[in-house]
Structure 1
Amino acid sequence: MTTSAVAMPPPEGLEYASKCFFPTEWHGVPLTNVKQYNHDSKIFSFGLPEGRSLDLPVCACLLLQGKDKEGNDAVRPYTPMSSNDVVGRFDLLVKVYEQGVISQYLNNLAIGSLVPFKHIPFNIKAQYPFGKKTLTMISGGTGITPMFQALQCLCLTPGDETKITLLYGNKSVDDILLRAELDDLASKSNGRLNVVHVVGTRPDEPPIEGWDGELGWVDAAKIEKYGYPPSDDTLVMVCGLPAMYDVFCGPRTEPELKEGTVLHKLGYTTTMVAKF
Structure 2
Amino acid sequence: MLRTSFQQAARCGSRISSQSQQQQQHLLKRTYASAAPSGSSSNTPLYLAAGGLAGLAAWYGLGGFGPANKEKAKDAAHKVASAVGQAKEAALNKDAFVDFVLKEVKPYNHDSSTFVFELPEGKSSGLTTCSAVVVKAVNDGLKDSKDKPVIRPYTPITSPETPGHIDFLVKKYEQGTMSKHIHNLQPGDKLAIKGPIEKFQFDRPNIFEEVGLIAGGTGITPHWQLIHKLLNDPEDKTKITLVYANKTQDDILLREDFDRWAQEKPDRFKVVYGTDGDDPPKGGFKGYLTNEVLRKHMPLPGKADKAKVFVCGPPGLVEIISGGKGPKGSQGELKGKNAFKTRILADLGYQPDQVYKF
1:50-65 map, 5 Å: 50-65=121-136
Partner of 1:237: 310
- Larger deviation, residues 177-186 vs 48-57: 48-57
Aligned-residue sequence identity (percent) comes to 35
Partner of 1:6: none
Partner of 1:196: 272
Asked if structure 1 preserves the Cα contact closer than 8 Å seen for 2:130 and 2:200, the reply is: yes
Partner of 2:220: 144
Matched, 1:126 2:174: no
Report Cα offsets for 1:218-266 as digits up to 9, x if no partner: 2211100111111222100011111122111222323243321211121
- Larger deviation, residues 178-187 vs 71-80: 71-80
Using structure 1 for the length normalisation, give the TM-score.
0.85
Asked if structure 1 preserves the Cα contact closer than 8 Å seen for 2:210 and 2:240, the reply is: yes
Q: Any idea what SS the aligned residue of 2:151 has?
A: strand
Relative to structure 1, is the Cα distance of residues 168 and 44 closer, same or farther in structure 2, using a 3 angstrom cutoff?
Answer: same
Partner of 2:77: none
Amino acid at match of 1:251: G
1:130 CA displacement: 6.7
Distance 1:125 1:223 in 2: 23
Asked if structure 1 preserves the Cα contact closer than 8 Å seen for 2:216 and 2:313, the reply is: yes
Q: Which runs of 5+ in 2 are unaligned?
A: 1-35, 42-84, 336-341
Asked if structure 1 preserves the Cα contact closer than 8 Å seen for 2:101 and 2:191, the reply is: yes
Report Cα offsets for 1:82-127 as digits up to 9, x if no partner: 222321211100011111111101111232222111115xx31112
More strand by share: 1
Amino acid at match of 2:135: L
Q: Any idea what SS the aligned residue of 1:73 has?
A: coil
More helix by share: 2
Relative to structure 1, is the Cα distance of residues 21 and 269 closer, same or farther in structure 2, using a 3 angstrom cutoff?
Answer: farther
Between Structure 1 and Structure 2, how many residues are aligned? 257
Distance 2:155 2:273 in 1: 21
Q: Any idea what SS the aligned residue of 1:74 has?
A: coil
Matched, 1:251 2:324: yes
Using structure 2 for the length normalisation, give the TM-score.
0.66
Distance 1:99 1:172 in 2: 20
Report Cα offsets for 1:43-82 as digits up to 9, x if no partner: 1111111243213110110111132576741111111112
Q: Which runs of 5+ in 1 are unaligned?
A: 1-9, 202-206
Partner of 1:269: 351
Structure ID, larger Rg: 2
Greater length-normalized contact order (CA 8 Å, ≥ 6 residues apart): 1
Distance 2:206 2:319 in 1: 24
The two structures, once aligned, show a CA RMSD in angstroms of 2.4
